[in-house]
Structure 1
């Protein structure tokens, strides 16, 4: 599955949970995660999506490290199975299922 297809699934499923998965474009800050996931009653989560075999670039590792040092929840999800597991975790936190 292509990264853009994985991203589409994430966006659609987050919407079904009543949230938003905003595309994050930060001029002058290449390497930031793909999406900021915001769910009702939860802290925002930064999500970088990769194919099952995709690898982070050095710049992505640096940006993710910066966000984590600031105490932010940053996830790197490889493939649709990890996206599904992330969504199930979100459901449990929110107290319901898709």
Structure 2
């Protein structure tokens, strides 16, 4: 397993999403700290939030709280700390249902 920086993992995620005809938008919410790094939008209305970390690093307590809040609203939230996990995350997002 190779070690990648958070930036490198984000770049690989963005490339994979783009290859799937989607968008991996950098998500910044100045008035609501602790939100995940990326909003991944895939064809057919599939979407998820992705928190990117370096290998083995855990989300801060506020981030965990935000992830729980988003999940309670019915959104998928993933913590990605290894580039080799990107295909699995993409598959789970693609299989996730869209909100109607």
TM bucket normalised to smaller: 0.7 to 0.9
RMSD of Structure 2 on Structure 1 (CA):
1.7
2:50 corresponds in structure 1 to 47
**What is the CA–CA distance in structure 2 between the aligned matches of 1:91 and 1:63, rounded to whole Å?**
19
Deviation at 1:27?
1.4
Residue 60 of structure 2 is aligned to residue 57 of structure 1: yes
Residue 39 of structure 2 is aligned to residue 36 of structure 1: yes
Which secondary structure does the structure 2 equivalent of 1:63 belong to?
helix
Which secondary structure does the structure 1 equivalent of 2:49 belong to?
strand
Give 4+ residue runs of structure 1 displaced > 3 Å after superposition: 90-93
Q: 1:2 aligns with which of 2, 5, 9?
A: 5
Unaligned runs of 5+ in 2: 96-100
Unaligned runs of 5+ in 1: 94-98
**What is the CA–CA distance in structure 1 between the aligned matches of 2:12 and 2:32, rounded to whole Å?**
25
Contact 2:47–2:93 under 8 Å retained in 1: no
